[in-house]
Amino acid sequence: MRKQDFKDLLMFLGAPLLTLAIFVVYPIVATIVISFTKGGLSFTLENYREVLLETIPLKALVVANPEPYPPWGALVHNAVWILIAVPAVVFLGMLLAYALRKTLGSSFILGIIFLGMVLPGVVSGLIIRFMFDADIGIFPRIFALFSIPILSRTWTIYPQSALFALILGSVWLWLGFSVTLYSAGLDSIPPSLIEAALVDGASEREIFIKIIVPQLKPVTIVVALMTIMWILKIFDIVYVVTGGGPGGSSTVLALIMYTYFASALEYNKAAAVAVMLAVLTLIPAYWYIKMILGSEKQ
Amino acid sequence: MSRRKITPGKMLTNFSLWLFAILWLLPFIALVVMSVKPYTEVILYGWWTLGGNYSLKNYVEVLTNPSYNFLAGLKNSFLISSISTIIPVLFAAMTAYSLTYLYFKYKTLLFIFILFFMSVPQQMVVIPLFNLYAKTGLYDTFIGIILLHSAWGTPWIAFFLRNYFKMIPQSFVEAARVDGASEAEIFFKVLLPVSIPALVAASAVQFTWVWGDFFYAMVFLPTPANYVVTQRLALLKGQYHIDWGLLSAGAILAMLPPLLMYLALKKYYVRGFIGWGIKG
């Protein structure tokens, strides 16, 4: 390597890489070390064992609950969240993006749906809290019209409904991202494909299912992966709306980590939860990174 | 798409989509209405009745009551978010430049690491940094949290800008090299000026992200005088009694800066957000 090249590299990469080393790389490595030690420096799995076997609902990752509603433990809550919100965001996003193509003022509607992405998490949380409030919220009032008492009270303060209020709220927030990605994806489908199908006498529905959905598959994968990662890391809205309550019925992994860290001051256990969270996030991230690197080679 | 005749079916789609959009917007409308009405009226008649008294009392109360100290929160947020946008955008542009135009070993490895850092959860770094900050005096300081936000923002912006740099014709940079320009000259005088749309997009999203951050602020800014606006807002909620009038005024003040930025820079903004994606 020429001396000049090295100087250039140092000038361009020196400061950024040093900052990354101190504030990202070092703490990641240290967190892993902390999670496998206790007091001394000898290797132990004790933190992971204790965290996984914890039974206090506000800290538990898995709860054996005989009732058909939460608390089920943070790990299960995150999983339920993913199972409900990801299909909803994918399905609604694709359908809306497709329908919006022929709608008057579609960019305005897109703009409105996107608003949720712009909000600070704390504000979104407050809006969710109020949408499900018995006195002033929209949802409980609608269910009151149908006289369903369990859903016409404040959703966020009962274990039967708190988690589901958060999940529905998160769909409201995240849909903008999905619709935007799908709209961009739709623009890249060659119109000739659709015109040819129209000439062959295909119906709207057939075109959507046989052409649009398969053509949008790469977008669907990206939307699904990012939504999963977002749900795994979710913290703000849960903290503000329910704080994980009532009775631990709406805890999530990131919140459990914070509870160990800030309330219990059990740093080793907090680190263990953080590592588990990071490993779970890495599964969709790995897939996504592979996709990016794959498209680089082409 | 070719324009076809307006059919009843099409009108129905149009109508239902607009209805959907209004329903989606309803929480925002409610928030605005509640913020300009006394909460007692909202409780009695609901925010959907348009009559009654309107005033900016809630806003005045939130901004001037010293126990809420919202103005200080807004000020702190502005300071932290602005600097935490400028630094990582510059760092990321430098990193992206190296990844696109400089030749060195382990380039792909660095790129993979950057993609990996983008997806790491915030929870993964706070414990060691908490100790480090306590020892170095960075704890509870703006500099501490600005450095963290800057480091945290650099990977995704670098990824985003690299994609943009790749679209710029290589001949652009090659021509400048042939003319004998140094790499620094090329970077500042050739590349950055043509990358302004991407720099604006990344800045808008990074600013929004730092502005909305709550987790890092709670961990690293424990003194009320240093609270950012999200902490102030969470505090405003109170434990048992919720005054939605005050709270919605506070929420609107807290979301106004990113919202205005979104409205002003909509096209850039959406582009940036698509690149932001998997950010922790």
Q: In this structure, is residue B208 part of a structural domain?
A: yes
Are residues B28 and B142 both part of a single domain? no
Q: Which two tokens stand for residue B2?
A: 């070719």
What DSSP assignment string belongs to B169-229?
-HHHHHHHHHTT--HHHIIIIIIHHHTHHHHHHHHHHHHHHHHH--HHHHHH--SGGG--H
Nearest to A290 by CA among B134, B115, B52, B195: B115
The residue type found at A184 is A
Q: How confident is the model at residue B130 (pLDDT cuts 50, 70, 90)?
A: very high
Q: Can you tell me which residue has the tokens 């679209």? A: B167
Q: Which of residues 256-285 of A touch B (CB under 8 A)?
A: 257-258, 261-262, 267, 270-271, 273-275, 277-278, 281-282, 284-285
Mean of the pLDDT values across residues A280-288? Answer: 92
B168 contacts chain A (CB < 8 A): no
Q: CA-to-CA distance for B35 and B55, rounded, in angstroms?
A: 9
Are residues B30 and B107 both part of a single domain? no
Tell me whether residues B214 and A121 touch, CB distance under 8 A: yes
CB-closest option in A1, A31, A131 to B127: A31
B258 contacts chain A (CB < 8 A): yes
Mean of the pLDDT values across residues B78-90? Answer: 97
- pLDDT number for residue A137: 82
Do residues B55 and A167 touch, judged by C-beta distance below 8 A?
no
Q: CA-to-CA distance for A72 and B68, rounded, in angstroms?
A: 36
Instruction: Please report how many Cα atoms fall inside a 13 Å half-sphere around the Cα of residue B147, on the Cβ side.
Output: 20
- The yes-or-no verdict on residue B96 having pLDDT over 60 is yes
Could you give the number of structural domains in chain B? 2
- The yes-or-no verdict on residue B55 having pLDDT over 60 is yes
B46 contacts chain A (CB < 8 A): yes
Q: Which two tokens stand for residue A291?
A: 């996709």
Q: In this structure, is residue B146 part of a structural domain?
A: yes
- pLDDT number for residue A298: 64
Q: How confident is the model at residue A22 (pLDDT cuts 50, 70, 90)?
A: very high
Q: What is the pLDDT of residues A244-269, one digit of tens each?
A: 878 899 999 999 999 999 988 899 99
Q: What is the pLDDT of residues B7-17, one digit of tens each?
A: 787 788 888 88
Q: Looking at A34-43, B41-50, B132-141, which range is the least confident one?
A: B41-50
- In percent, the amount of chain B with pLDDT more than 70 equals 94
CB contacts, 8 Å: A261 with chain B: 126-127, 219
Do residues A225 and A284 touch, judged by C-beta distance below 8 A?
yes
Tell me whether residues B123 and A181 touch, CB distance under 8 A: no
CB contacts, 8 Å: B43 with chain A: 135-136
Q: Looking at A241-250, B83-92, B214-223, which range is the least confident one?
A: A241-250
- pLDDT number for residue B266: 84
What DSSP assignment string belongs to chain A?
--HHHHHHHHHHHHHHHHHHIIIIIHHHHHHHHHHT-SSSSS---HHHHHHHH--STTT-SS----SSSS---HHHHHHHHHHHHHHHHHHHHHHHHHHHTTSTTHHHHHHHHHHHHHS-HHHHHHHHHHHT-TTT-HHHHHHHHTT-GGGSS-GGGSTTTHHHHHHHHHHHHHHHHHHHHHHHHHHTS-HHHHHHHHHTT--HHHHIIIIIHHHTHHHHHHHHHHHHHHHHT--HHHHHHTTT-STTTT--HHHHHHIIIIIS--HHHHHHHHHHHHHHHHHHHHHHHHHHHHHHH-
**Taken in order A59, A60, A66, A67, is the CA torsion positive or negative?**
positive
Q: Looking at A49-63, A68-82, A144-158, which range is the least confident one?
A: A144-158
- The yes-or-no verdict on residue B264 having pLDDT over 70 is yes
Do residues B275 and B118 touch, judged by C-beta distance below 8 A?
no
Which CATH number covers residue B201? Answer: 1.10.3720.10
Q: In this structure, is residue B253 part of a structural domain?
A: yes
Are residues B137 and B191 both part of a single domain? yes
Structural domain range at position B48? 8-55
Are residues B142 and B199 both part of a single domain? yes
CB contacts, 8 Å: B247 with chain A: 126
- pLDDT number for residue B279: 43
CB contacts, 8 Å: B94 with chain A: 12-13, 15-16
Q: CA-to-CA distance for B12 and A82, rounded, in angstroms?
A: 32
Q: In this structure, is residue B61 part of a structural domain?
A: no
Q: In this structure, is residue B260 part of a structural domain?
A: yes
Q: In this structure, is residue B257 part of a structural domain?
A: yes
User: For testing the chain B interface, which of A2, A10, A11, A12 should be mutated: the one with the most B CBs within 10 Å?
Assistant: A12
Q: CA-to-CA distance for B274 and B280, rounded, in angstroms?
A: 14
A213 contacts chain B (CB < 8 A): no
Mean pLDDT over each residue of chain A, to the nearest integer: 90
Nearest to A239 by CA among A226, A254, A229, A227: A254
Tell me whether residues B155 and A20 touch, CB distance under 8 A: yes
- pLDDT number for residue B239: 64
- pLDDT number for residue B275: 59
A138 contacts chain B (CB < 8 A): yes
Q: In this structure, is residue B60 part of a structural domain?
A: no
Q: CA-to-CA distance for A250 and A154, rounded, in angstroms?
A: 15
- The yes-or-no verdict on residue B46 having pLDDT over 80 is no
Q: What is the pLDDT of residues A138-179, one digit of tens each?
A: 888 888 888 888 888 888 888 889 999 999 999 999 999 999
Q: CA-to-CA distance for A86 and A152, rounded, in angstroms?
A: 26
Q: How confident is the model at residue B5 (pLDDT cuts 50, 70, 90)?
A: low
- The yes-or-no verdict on residue A108 having pLDDT over 50 is yes
- The yes-or-no verdict on residue B1 having pLDDT over 70 is no
- pLDDT number for residue B278: 41
Closest-CA distance of chain A to residue B85, Å: 14
Mean of the pLDDT values across residues B86-90? Answer: 97
Do residues B153 and B275 touch, judged by C-beta distance below 8 A?
no
Question: If you average pLDDT over each of B49-63, B100-114, B136-150, B173-187, which comes out highest?
Answer: B136-150
Tell me whether residues A261 and B126 touch, CB distance under 8 A: yes
Are residues B159 and B38 both part of a single domain? no
Write the CA distances from A125 to A122, A167, B189, integer angstroms: 5, 11, 44
Are residues B78 and B188 both part of a single domain? yes
Are residues B49 and B96 both part of a single domain? no
Q: CA-to-CA distance for A136 and A126, rounded, in angstroms?
A: 13
Tell me whether residues A270 and B127 touch, CB distance under 8 A: yes
Q: CA-to-CA distance for B17 and A38, rounded, in angstroms?
A: 56
Mean of the pLDDT values across residues A127-141? Answer: 86
User: For testing the chain A interface, which of B49, B216, B278 should be mutated: the one with the most A CBs within 10 Å?
Assistant: B278
Q: CA-to-CA distance for B166 and A213, rounded, in angstroms?
A: 29
Are residues B51 and B71 both part of a single domain? no
Q: List the domains of chain A with CATH numbers.
A: 1-35 (no CATH), 41-297 (1.10.3720.10)
**What is the complex's ipTM, to 2 decimals?**
0.91
Q: Looking at A123-127, A172-176, B65-69, which range is the least confident one?
A: B65-69
- In percent, the amount of chain B with pLDDT more than 90 equals 48
Are residues B49 and B83 both part of a single domain? no
Closest-CA distance of chain B to residue A263, Å: 11
Mean of the pLDDT values across residues A11-31? Answer: 95
- The yes-or-no verdict on residue A184 having pLDDT over 90 is no
Predicted TM-score of the model (pTM): 0.92
- The yes-or-no verdict on residue B68 having pLDDT over 60 is yes
Are residues B37 and B72 both part of a single domain? no
Q: Which two tokens stand for residue B43?
A: 């409780």
Write the CA distances from A259 to A251, A252, B20, B93, B213, integer angstroms: 10, 11, 38, 37, 18
Are residues B35 and B134 both part of a single domain? no
The residue type found at A243 is G
B264 contacts chain A (CB < 8 A): no
- pLDDT number for residue B276: 54
Tell me whether residues B121 and A254 touch, CB distance under 8 A: yes
Q: In this structure, is residue B62 part of a structural domain?
A: no
Do residues A98 and A212 touch, judged by C-beta distance below 8 A?
yes
A229 contacts chain B (CB < 8 A): yes
Mean of the pLDDT values across residues B177-201? Answer: 90
Are residues B85 and B32 both part of a single domain? no
Tell me whether residues A112 and B21 touch, CB distance under 8 A: yes
Strand ranges inside chain B, DSSP E: none
Cis before A66 (ω within 30): no
Q: CA-to-CA distance for B63 and B252, rounded, in angstroms?
A: 12
Q: How confident is the model at residue B280 (pLDDT cuts 50, 70, 90)?
A: very low
Nearest to A167 by CA among A72, A80, A263: A80
- pLDDT number for residue B66: 83
Measured between CA atoms, the residue of chain B closest to residue A228 is: B278
Q: CA-to-CA distance for A1 and B207, rounded, in angstroms?
A: 38
- The yes-or-no verdict on residue A210 having pLDDT over 60 is yes
